[in-house]
Amino acid sequence: MPSGEHQITAVVLTPDEGGLGEKLESLLDARAWRAVEVHDLLLAMAELCRRQRTQVLRATWGLQAADEIVLVVADPQAWPDAQMAQLRGALRRYAPGATVWTYTDCVLSPLDQSPPAAVPPPAPPVPPLDAEPRPISREEIDMLLEVEPGKPFGPAP
């Protein structure tokens, strides 16, 4: 992938292990989306969170986002409405940069029209430590070794 160019990764949630299908593959190829097929809601969520975490880490290091994250739900009627609602809620919380699309009757369409949330801004940089450590003075050593002022650390003579 040339620098400056981003890629879109589509996590495709399919109800069975029958593959993506020729029509869906051609739609994804036409959009230049790289497909990662999963067959379980939890695995889809894990994959999306992993990719979101990668985006956050890249932003923390000052690097540009590597790719956009998309969830494509193939045959959304195959999944219970309650589970899909939970998945969408979890995506908003844990992978806010992901967009959700559906694939029904050979048509690929966005589920939400709202734009994805941006990757969180990087954390402020940690200030550098002193480059050269200074030696500890004798007074500082004595202070550290004293339990009570005037009494040295260790057993009594």
Q: 86-125 pLDDT, tens per residue? A: 888 888 888 887 888 888 888 887 876 554 445 455 556 6
Classify residue 70: in a domain, yes or no.
yes
End-to-end alpha carbon distance in the chain: 73
Q: Which two tokens stand for residue 74?
A: 């193939």
Domain that includes residue 40, residue range = 7-110
- Considering its fold, how many domains does the chain have in total? 1
Classify residue 150: in a domain, yes or no.
no
Angle at 37 (CA atoms; ends 39, 24), nearest 5 degrees: 110
Q: What are the tens digits of pLDDT across the range 130-147?
A: 556 678 888 887 777 775
Residue, of 61 and 82, whose pLDDT is higher = 82
Classify residue 95: in a domain, yes or no.
yes
Percent of the chain with pLDDT over 90: 0
Q: What is the number of other CB atoms lying within 10 angstroms of the CB of residue 108? A: 18
Classify residue 143: in a domain, yes or no.
no
Q: Which two tokens stand for residue 132?
A: 């050269």
Classify residue 115: in a domain, yes or no.
no
Q: Which two tokens stand for residue 100?
A: 């959700």
* Maximum Cα–Cα distance across the chain: 90
| Domain CATH number, residue 86 | 3.40.1010
Q: For residue 66, what pLDDT band results from cuts at 50, 70 and 90?
A: low
Classify residue 139: in a domain, yes or no.
no
